[in-house]
Amino acid sequence: MKTASELNFGERAIIFDIDHTHPSFRRLLEIGFTPGQEIQLVNSSVFNDPLAFSLRGTLIAIRKHEADCIILS
């Protein structure tokens, strides 16, 4: 299963599910990472972590381990 942390730069994908065992899952959902949404990896920090995604018309930076619980379809 591919997760959001494995996207290439500029690559788009649709969210399939959010891993609800991750402690950050609720905040990720609340900020808009919900199943069915399209995301695109647009930027990353120099150290490749955190990653910035385009989502619902805005940019959200999250850590790699948080992107790991965003499961793509």
Partner 1 sequence: MSNASIEKLHLITLVGPPNSGKTTLFNQLSGKNFKTVNYPGSTVEYSTSTIQSKYGLAAEILDSPGIISLNPNSPDEEVSINSLYNHPLFGSPHLLIATVDASQISRHLLLAKQLIESGFDIIIALTMNDILAKRGFEVDENKLSELLGCTVVSFDGRTGAGLEKLLSCVRNKLEFESTYQSITPNKIFENISKEKLLNLYKEIEEIEKNVIVQLPDLKENKLGLANKQLKILNPTLKYGNNRPDALTMKIDKYLLHRRWGLLFFFLIMSFTFTSILWIADPFMGFIDEIFGYLSLSASTLFGQTWYGDLIADGIISGTGSVLVFLPQILILFLILGLLEDSGYLARGAMLIDKPLSKIGLNGKSFVPMLSGFACAIPAMLAARTISNRRERMLTIFIIPLMSCSARLPVYALLIAFLTPADKAWMAGIALAVIYILSVLGSLLVAAVINKFNKRLIRTEDNSSFILELPTYRQPKLKVVIRNSIENVKQYIFRAGPIILILSIVIWSLTYFPNYSPKINSTGLSEIEINQMVKAERLSTSYAADLGKVIQPVMSPLGMDWRIGVSLIAAFAAREVFVSSLALIFRVTDESNLQNSILFAMHDAKNEETGKPLFTTSTIIGLIVFFIFAMQCLSTVAVSKKETGGWRIPILQIIIFTSTAYILTFITVNVLKFVGFN
Q: Closer to partner 1 by CB, 1 or 20: give it.
A: 20
Cα angle value 17/40/10 (rounded, 5°): 140
Residues 33-62 that bind partner 1 (CB under 8 A): 34-38, 42-50, 52, 54-62
Minimum distance from CB of 71 to partner 1 (Å)? Answer: 13
At residue 65, the 3 state secondary structure works out as helix
CA–CA dist 17, 34 (Å, integer): 7
36: left (phi over 0), alpha (psi -120 to 50) or beta: left
10 scored as a contact of partner 1 (CB under 8 A): no
- Please give the residue ranges that form the binding site for partner 1 (CB under 8 A): 12-14, 18, 20, 23-32, 34-38, 42-50, 52, 54-63, 66
